[in-house]
Structure formats: C-alpha cells, structure tokens
Chain A
Amino acid sequence: AQKITQTQPGMFVQEKEAVTLDCTYDTSDQSYGLFWYKQPSSGEMIFLIYQGSYDEQNATEGRYSLNFQKARKSANLVISASQLGDSAMYFCAMREDENFNKFYFGSGTKLNVKP
C-alpha cells in the first residue's frame, strides 16, 4: 500500500490567494515525521516544512503552514498569499522512526500560480 498519497496531480491558484495541497499518509508507527518539499522547474528539491507526529501545534514557516490532522492521517500544506514563484511541483514525504533515514514520497502536485 502507498505510504503517501497526493490526490491532486495539478492545481491552479490566483496570485495572492491561499491554496491547500492535500497529503494523506499511512503508517502504523506512533512516531514519525512529515515533510514538504518544493521542486521548481530548475530541478532542485527545496525543503519547506516539517511536522513531527508528537507536535501538538501545526508547523509554520513564513507563508507555509502544515495542517496536521493526526486522526485523519492528513498533512496538508497551506500556502498563503501565493506568489508567481510558488509555481512548482510539491512533494509530501514521511519518515517513520523505525527507519529514521528512509523517506516515503507522494507522486507530487504541480501548482501553477496565475497572475
């Protein structure tokens, strides 16, 4: 079974609006970490935000926030006030503490920000 599911292959958002990218995960571990990475057209993968399974507060990093709903096993990325430079692929990832160094990724969401 897939560990990370991203159901939106592509999304459009108007510049300056907020957008939510969906991510659900599957694990039986009690301790795990959730990540979001951005991949612009230049190819590099940029780490955006991290949420630990025991963190009670949703993680925030500038315009990025992670809407963590543990019971639903979802870790959606919210980008506020979208900018043209946010157009990119976005990957959700998880690591389980049983194997701290192995990341599981989703298939990605292509976000296009319209001017």
Chain B
Amino acid sequence: EAGVTQFPSHSVIEKGQTVTLRCDPISGHDNLYWYRRVMGKEIKFLLHFVKESKQDESGMPNNRFLAERTGGTYSTLKVQPAELEDSGVYFCASSGLAGGPGNEQFFGPGTRLTVL
C-alpha cells in the first residue's frame, strides 16, 4: 500500500512568487492534515480536511495560504504571495475514519520550501 506522497520534495522560490504544494493521502483515508515545521521549531498544525470539507483551519497563518481538496482525494496548499517567513518543511498526513487505537496519522516526507 502506497504511503502519503508529497510533491515537490523541495521548492526554492523568490519572495512574492506563488508556490503550490501537493499531497496525495493514503488511498481511502478521509482525513487529511497539513502541518509546517519552521527551522528548529515544533511541527505546527495548519488545517484538517474530512473528505473535501475543511474541519479545522485554525492553524493557517494568514490569508496568503489557501488549501483545497477537491473531490476529497489529493490536496493542494498554495502560498501566494510567498514571504521569507514561510520557509520551512510542510508535512501532509492522513488517517482513516476509524483509525488505529490512537488514531495515528500517517505522514508524508514533507516539502521543503525555501523563500529567498
């Protein structure tokens, strides 16, 4: 079974440009999450989808960030326009409705975003 995949693995852009990150969750997982880790800090929750609906977007930093999950399969996270402080590693995770005993989330390898 394929795990969570993310594309691209690394993106370098200039301040003011737009970048779109993609996440493909594990097939059949209705829950999809985005997290971000800024260098040396903790991994922070950004938002949570159940199928195509946003359940919780309390962690989204500002309106320069737009997440979508059309059709309830893959998700995109767009940053427009990017700022220097957006640099970090963006993780996507997914989980099934039932989940394991702890409802563990399965993570992708992350996209490292560098804004110059």
Contact = CB atoms under 8 A, between A and B. Distances in A.
Interface of A: 2, 4, 9, 33, 35, 37, 42-47, 50-52, 91, 93, 95, 99-108
Contacts of A106: 42
A97 B108 CA distance: 24
B103 A52 contact: no
**Binding site of A, secondary structure by majority: helix, strand, loop or mixed?**
strand
A105 B35 contact: yes
Contacts, number: 72
A50 B107 contact: no
> Which one of A35, A46, A105 has the highest number of Cβ atoms from chain B below 10 Å of its Cβ?
A105
Interface of B: 3, 9, 31, 33, 35, 37, 40-45, 48, 55-56, 58-59, 89, 91, 93, 95, 100-110
Given A44-B3, A101-B31, A107 B103 contact: no
Contacts of B3: 44
Given A43-B9, A44-B3, A103 B106 contact: no
B19 to A, nearest CB: 18
Contacts of A99: 56
A2 B41 CA distance: 11
16 contacts: A2-B42, A4-B42, A33-B102, A35-B104, A43-B9, A44-B107, A45-B93, A45-B107, A50-B100, A51-B102, A52-B102, A93-B43, A102-B48, A103-B105, A107-B41, A107-B42
A47 B59 CA distance: 22
A2 B45 CA distance: 13
Contacts of B40: 9, 107
Contacts of B37: 105
